[in-house]
């Protein structure tokens, strides 16, 4: 089984100090940088694009950058993110006219590809493309904003997805995104997730004066994950 990956979502970071914020969470033991791309069309919010991804690479970030596209259409922006240094590119199947083509495009650009499932999106989108998938991202909130509460039905969906991954015999990361905190991460891991996005759970507001806050939160998450037994 894949080792646990903690992927802070920079959506909740201080955008005026983005490079520094990434440095700090990575130094505190995070593994990936989760990069939320919103277009004010597929989701009702607008965030960051390839130029910011490129700027983080130029700043010196070498950790995997996990680009979560909440955009429609998808294909046109894929090459830009590949050139900007994305490691993973995931997209919502409802946002692509041709899912298999988009997956192929991402991999042809040299990136790892994945599908993202909203809380009400059926897993059947995996049926004919599992051989092309490197990551499955389950949303445990509706996409568009940080700071929402974890939707409990995601736990069951994680178990179902884990069974699909097992049956495929492939190495596929199972990522969860939305409302992940120190106090629920163990339960989420027990349900099958191996990759944990956390935005507001890591970049908590109101504790900026504590220079070690990221170390302490990520250490607590690892302690909780140890309870889940991997």
Interacting residue ranges for ligand DX5, rule: CB under 6 A: 9, 11-12, 34, 36, 68, 141, 143-144, 146-148, 177-180, 197-201
In the complex, the smallest distance separating the C-beta of residue 8 from ligand DX5, rounded to whole angstroms, is 9
**In Å, how far are 44, 74, 214, 217, 222 from 204, measured between CA atoms?**
23, 31, 9, 9, 17
Q: Does 177 bind Zn ion (CB under 5 A)?
A: yes
Of the pair 9, 195, the CB lying nearest ligand DX5 is at 9
- Start-to-end CA span in the chain (Å): 9
- The entry of ligand DX5, Zn ion, none near residue 50 (CB within 5 to 8 angstroms by kind) is none
Q: Name the residue with the smallest CB distance to ligand DX5.
A: 199
Please, are residues 116 and 103 in contact by the beta-carbon 8 Å criterion?
Answer: no
The one segment of 32-40, 102-110, 128-136, 208-216 that binds Zn ion by CB under 5 A: 32-40
Please say which residue, 192 or 201, places its beta carbon nearer to ligand DX5: 201
Write each residue from 38 to 77 as x if it is in contact with Zn ion (CB under 5 A), else as -, in one continuous string: ------------------------------x---------
Closest distance to ligand DX5 from the beta carbon of 197 (Å): 5
| Binding partner of 87, given Zn ion, ligand DX5, none, CB within 5-8 angstroms per partner class | none
Alpha-helical (H) ranges within the chain are 18-27, 50-59, 75-83, 99-108, 153-168, 185-190, 213-227
Tokens for 94? 């409802």
Q: What is the nearest approach in angstroms of ligand DX5 to the Cβ of residue 148?
A: 5
User: Nearest 5 degrees, angle CA 177-CA 33-CA 80?
Assistant: 100
Q: 114 touches which of Zn ion, ligand DX5, none (CB within 5 to 8 A by kind)?
A: none
213: how many CB neighbours lie within 10 A of its CB?
Answer: 17
Query: Percentage helix, strand, coil, to 5, in the chain?
Result: 40, 20, 40
Q: Which two tokens stand for residue 212?
A: 């070690």
Chain residues in the site for Zn ion (CB under 5 A): 36, 68, 177
């Amino acid at each position: 089984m894949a080792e646990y990956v903690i992927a802070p979502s920079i959506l909740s970071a201080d955008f005026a100090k983005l490079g520094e914020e990434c440095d700090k969470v990575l130094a505190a033991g995070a593994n990936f940088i989760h990069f939320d791309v919103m277009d004010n069309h597929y989701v009702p919010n607008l965030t960051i694009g390839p130029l910011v991804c490129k700027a983080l690479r130029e700043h010196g970030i070498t950790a995997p950058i996990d680009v979560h596209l909440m955009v429609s259409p998808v294909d046109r922006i894929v090459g830009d993110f590949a050139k900007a240094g994305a490691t993973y590119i995931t997209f919502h199947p409802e946002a692509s006219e041709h899912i298999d083509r988009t997956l192929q495009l991402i991999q042809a650009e040299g990136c790892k590809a994945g599908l993202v499932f909203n809380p009400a999106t059926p897993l059947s989108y995996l049926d004919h493309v599992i051989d092309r998938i490197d990551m499955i991202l389950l949303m445990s909130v509706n996409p568009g904003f940080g700071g929402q509460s974890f939707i409990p039905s995601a736990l069951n969906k994680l178990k179902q997805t884990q069974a699909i991954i097992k049956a495929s015999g492939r190495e596929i990361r199972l990522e969860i995104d939305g409302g992940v905190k120190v106090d629920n991460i163990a339960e989420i891991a027990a349900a099958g997730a191996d990759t944990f996005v956390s935005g507001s759970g890591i970049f908590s507001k109101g504790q900026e004066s504590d220079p070690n806050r990221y170390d302490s939160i990520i250490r607590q998450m690892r302690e909780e994950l140890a309870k889940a037994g991997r």
